[in-house]
Amino acid sequence: MRLMPHRVNILGVGIHATDMRRTLAVLEETIARGRKGYVCATGVHGIMEAQRDLVLKAILNRALINAPDGRPTVWLGRMRGFPHMRQVYGPALMLALCARSVERGYTHFIYGGKPGVAEELRTALMRRFLGIRIVGTYAPPFRPLLRDEEANLESRVAALKPDIFWVGLGTPKQERFMAEFLPRLDTRVMLGVGAAFDIHTGHVQDAPEWVRSAGLQWFHRLCQEPERLWRRYLINNPRFLVKIAAQLLHIRKYELA
């Protein structure tokens, strides 16, 4: 098995043609070899944000794994010749890696979420995975960290040296955070899994499997949080369809940044 998967160019964003098994294998090799890398779980929202933000596009394209978080990215990958590409859903990736970490002895740090959510997530994961080692949590303020807060975070992580650093800030904040702080923090892999924090603590209801398979997960989320998400889905999704049609028909060419 080729460990590092190929990338599918979707509007200039490289989505890795991967699945859960291969993604976990890349993460385990990265940790075992003492390397560093960050993982983005990217769907239509992230791809469309990157159309307006070239810095974000570059961050996504530098990821160790830019996973196909949404079903449309999988369908496009299969159209491009990657029939074994599967959705690597952020909340599912968190559970799979936590289960593997009990066997491997990996340590975790949880960063992000609304006040109290990181600790709730720690409790929920420790109940679900007996023996999991979650060595710390940090709930940042809803603003950029001040210098003393950055120094405090760096010193805490340096003392704990977690193998896995979970980031739940939402796109694009979590991707920007990982790109900036991965070189500064004594950890191996960072994973931006935004919605997983709320889903695994019960604050947001996850979509049933059949809804995800049909590519309607966005509608399930929209029904739960219409005031916050209506612009993301009702404006971004039609724009995505227009842009991807132009790319598929070779009307417009998108380069990987």
Q: What pLDDT digit, counting tens, does each position of 88-114 carry?
A: 999 999 999 999 999 999 999 999 998
Strand partners, 40: 66, 192
Nearest-angstrom CA–CA distance, 231 and 46: 14
Q: What pLDDT digit, counting tens, does each position of 30-57 carry?
A: 999 999 999 999 999 999 999 999 999 9
Q: What pLDDT digit, counting tens, does each position of 140-159 carry?
A: 998 999 999 999 999 999 99
Q: Report the pLDDT value the prediction gives residue 41, as an integer from 0 to 100.
A: 97
Q: Model's pTM, two decimal places?
A: 0.92
pLDDT beneath 50, residues of the chain: 1
Q: How many CA atoms lie within 13 A of 89 on its CB side?
A: 18
Q: Report the pLDDT value the prediction gives residue 256, as an integer from 0 to 100.
A: 87
Nearest-angstrom CA–CA distance, 37 and 192: 11
Q: Report the pLDDT value the prediction gives residue 1, as an integer from 0 to 100.
A: 44
Nearest-angstrom CA–CA distance, 200 and 204: 8
